[in-house]
């Protein structure tokens, strides 16, 4: 198999949550360029429509999918919408996430519960819905967009870090069940990525500068860099990669 074929997603279908912005949009665009049909989930209908135009311009099918991932019933409906629109789903990318930060002693229970619902429970529900068909076909990929804060400590991130640490654990547990059926489950743990959310949370110099100074590479990430790693994990090139928690953070966690 030529290297181009090993990294191709031709003939594959992907459900990508959080596809209306940031990392999710970048993943959808890269996957479409690689040949996949896309079910893009998001909250911004206009942005989903714009993404759909790019996907169809690449010659691929696109289905816009909506639903509040903090609600378990709506999350189940997201999976059903994707299957109804595209048929079998070969690749699930759990990219949607929320980041509410602040000192634990001042953190509201409502924000804690919503963070865990969107960042951890929703990926569990979507995997539970789509994994059986992947296992029956003996083919599939689940990619969880986690965070370096799921591995390292970061002040004022208790809820977010807990949700991402749980997502890493879920990744490994799902892998043990899926790998014997030729389904790969992996997680990507980025540094701060310069999406709209990343820029909003990390624009203040007093917060940004010490973090960058602590990072050997000396910069934050770009959405396409995460999308390229996701493409590798979605393609046949990564079939031996199972249960990996892949750091993409400029060396921060290595020192």
Please list the active-site residues: 160
Q: What's the chain's Rg over C-alpha atoms?
A: 17
In the three-class reduction of DSSP (H, G, I as helix; E, B as strand; rest coil), residue 14 is classed as strand
Closest CA relative to residue 56, chosen from 29, 85, 87, 21: 29
First to last CA, the chain: 38
Helix, strand counts (H, E) of the chain:
10, 7
- Backbone torsions φ then ψ of 103, nearest 5 degrees: -60, 140
Residue 123, beta-bridge partner list: none
Burial of residue 163, with CB atoms counted within 10 A of its CB: 0-12 exposed, 13-18 middle, 19 or more buried: buried
Under 8 Å between Cβ of 107 and 159: yes
Closest CA relative to residue 124, chosen from 180, 66, 185, 82: 185
């Amino acid at each position: 198999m030529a290297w181009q074929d090993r990294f191709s997603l031709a003939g594959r279908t992907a459900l990508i949550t959080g596809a209306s912005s940031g990392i999710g949009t970048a993943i959808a665009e890269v996957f479409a360029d690689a040949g996949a049909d896309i079910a893009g989930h998001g909250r911004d209908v206009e942005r989903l429509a714009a993404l759909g135009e790019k996907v169809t311009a690449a010659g691929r099918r696109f289905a816009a999918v909506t639903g509040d991932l903090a609600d378990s019933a709506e999350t189940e409906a997201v999976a059903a919408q994707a299957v109804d629109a595209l048929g079998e789903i070969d690749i699930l990318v759990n990219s949607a996430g929320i980041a509410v930060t602040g000192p634990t002693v001042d953190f509201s229970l409502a924000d804690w519960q919503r963070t865990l619902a969107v960042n951890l429970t929703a990926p569990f529900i979507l995997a539970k819905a789509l994994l059986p068909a992947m296992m029956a076909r003996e083919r599939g990929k689940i990619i969880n967009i986690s965070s370096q804060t799921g591995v390292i400590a970061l002040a004022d991130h208790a809820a977010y870090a807990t949700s991402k640490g749980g997502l890493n654990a879920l990744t490994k547990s799902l892998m043990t069940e899926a790998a014997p059926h030729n389904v790969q489950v992996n997680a990507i743990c980025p540094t701060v990525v310069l999406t709209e959310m990343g820029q909003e949370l990390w624009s203040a110099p007093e917060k940004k500068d010490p973090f960058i100074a602590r990072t050997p590479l000396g910069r934050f990430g770009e959405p396409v860099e995460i999308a390229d790693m996701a493409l590798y994990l979605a393609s046949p090139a990564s079939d031996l990669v199972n249960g990996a928690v892949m750091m993409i953070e400029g060396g921060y966690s290595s020192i």
